[in-house]
Structure 1
Amino acid sequence: MSDSQLLVTTTEKVPGIEYEVIGEVFGLTTQSKNMFKDLGAGLKSMVGGEIRSYTKMLEESRQQALDRLRAAAREQGADAVVMMRFDSGSIAGDMQSVVAYGTAVRYTTNVE
């Protein structure tokens, strides 16, 4: 199974599957926009509305954090990650950090 096929769920239980807990896993990324996009975002903030370059950056950051979470779980021999959550925050005003975290588990029942 590839990392992209590793089950990640926000629920605690996977219906019909028994598993043992391996431990916590994380996927983290920190992104920054370049000076020109920051300038455009600053101008947009004066008139209101969605700042698409930042929306795209956050979408990409979430996907990258999720990919890293799956890779970290696979390194620990996990079959899935349960109770996955995202968290984000600003760093130094011009960077955005996104973390995906959850509990890596190994199946104890056969999964077809």
Structure 2
Amino acid sequence: MDSSEILVTTTERIPGKEYEIIGEVFGLTTQSKNVVRNIGAGLKNIVGGEIKAYTELLSEARDIAIERLRDNAVKMGADAVVMMRFDSDSISADMETVAAYGTAVKFK
């Protein structure tokens, strides 16, 4: 199965589907801000407002984390991931980590 075919949902139940739980599944990434983004963010801190470069960084990290979650679910033989959640944290002033996690399931 191609990982793009893996259903990922934040709900506990998938309507019309019965499944067995395989186990927990994760997708992790750590992204670093580049110098240009840091300069722009520093200037934005002075005047306020959204720091678009950081928003883009976190959006990209989220997409990578979900892709890795799907890839890991395929390796486990899963058909879907339920109860998917995100967690993020700053590792240092210029690094962010994003984790997507959930429960891998196999349809009956």
Q: TM-score, normalised by structure 1?
A: 0.94
Q: Which residue type is aligned with residue 66 of structure 1?
A: I
SS at structure 1 position matched to 2:17: coil
Question: What does 1:59-78 align with in structure 2 at a 5 Å threshold?
Answer: 59-78=59-78
User: Alpha-carbon deviation of 1:2?
Assistant: 1.7
Secondary structure of the residue that 1:101 maps to in structure 2?
strand
Whole-angstrom CA distance in 1 between matches of 2:101 and 2:64: 12
Say whether 1:44 aligns with 2:30.
no
For 1:98, the equivalent position in structure 2 comes to 98
Q: Which runs of 4+ in 1 moved over 3 A?
A: none
CA distance in 1, matches of 2:99, 2:3: 17
- Displacement, 1:65? 0.1
Which residue does 2:10 correspond to in 1?
10
- Structure 1 runs not aligned, ≥5 long: none
SS of the residue 1:15 aligns to: coil
- 2:29 maps to 29
Q: What number of residue pairs does the alignment pair up?
A: 108
Q: What's the C-alpha RMSD, in Å, of the aligned pairs?
A: 0.8
Deviations 1:24-80 (A, max 9, x none): 000000001112210110111110011111111111000000000000000000000
Provide structure 2 residue ranges, at least 5 long, that are not aligned to the other structure: none
Residue 88 of structure 2: aligned partner: 88
Find the aligned partners of 1:66 and 1:9 in 2 and give their Cα distance: 11
Cα drift, residue 92 of structure 1:
1.5
Percent of pairs identical after alignment?
64
What is the alpha-carbon distance in structure 2 between the residues aligned to residue 37 and residue 89 of structure 1?
A: 18
